């Protein structure tokens, strides 16, 4: 058994914590995740895209409870356990959706400080850990 990301190249664990791997326009500073080959900001004068890594610190902007199993192709371990999904404003300018890693999703609230982590999303048919990015409350 091993660990593998749900999608290669979307996130990474560094010595300083987890990061989302995206891009940013050097002209207008607009962040993109996943990576974008061009800048989509209509006010931008020149698209200059470079790779960028985002995270790990952020704050919960909005929050919802996933009370029922999402439809395919979403995968999860049985039995299904409800979880909190949040829209998080990362300190470096990216607003991104992510699951909150907690045993007590009812305790999660807007405006809480969170940190990006890489955590197990589910286990595949061979028993491997399939990972994704999540947020934990600081
Ligand atoms: Zn731009």
- Environment class of 14 (CB within 10 Å of its CB; exposed 0-12, middle 13-18, buried 19+): exposed
Distance 46 CA to ligand 1 centre (A): 6
| C-beta atoms surrounding 24 within 10 Å | 24
Distance 64 CA to ligand 1 centre (A): 31
Q: What is the pLDDT of residue 107?
A: 96
Q: What is the pLDDT of residue 136?
A: 98
Q: What is the pLDDT of residue 1?
A: 74
Model's pTM, two decimal places? 0.92
User: Where do the structural domains in the chain lie, given as residue ranges?
Assistant: 3-137
Residue 6: closest CA among 87, 116, 120: 120
Distance 27 CA to ligand 1 centre (A): 5
Q: What is the pLDDT of residue 18?
A: 97
Q: What is the pLDDT of residue 85?
A: 97
Distance 113 CA to ligand 1 centre (A): 28
Query: What is the tens place of the pLDDT at every residue in 5-16?
Result: 999 999 999 999
Which stretches of the chain drop beneath a pLDDT of 70?
A: none
Distance 96 CA to ligand 1 centre (A): 19
**Cβ neighbours of residue 106 closer than 8 Å, sequence gap 6 or more:** 65
Distance 54 CA to ligand 1 centre (A): 17
For residue 76, give Cα distances in angstroms to 15, 30, 80, 105, 113.
29, 33, 7, 17, 26
Distance 17 CA to ligand 1 centre (A): 27
Q: What is the pLDDT of residue 26?
A: 97
């Amino acid at each position: 058994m091993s660990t593998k990301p749900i999608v290669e190249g979307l996130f990474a664990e560094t010595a300083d914590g987890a990061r989302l791997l995206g891009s940013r326009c050097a002209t207008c500073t607009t962040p993109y995740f996943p990576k974008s080959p061009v800048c989509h900001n209509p006010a931008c004068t020149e698209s200059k895209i470079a790779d960028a890594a985002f995270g790990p610190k952020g704050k919960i902007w909005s929050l919802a409870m996933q009370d029922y199993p999402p439809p395919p192709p979403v995968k999860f371990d049985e039995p299904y356990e409800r979880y909190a999904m949040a829209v998080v404003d990362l300190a470096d300018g990216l607003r991104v959706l992510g699951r909150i890693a907690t045993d007590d999703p009812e305790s999660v609230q807007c405006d809480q400080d969170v940190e990006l982590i890489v955590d197990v999303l589910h286990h595949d048919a061979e028993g491997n850990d399939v990972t994704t990015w999540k947020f934990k409350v600081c």
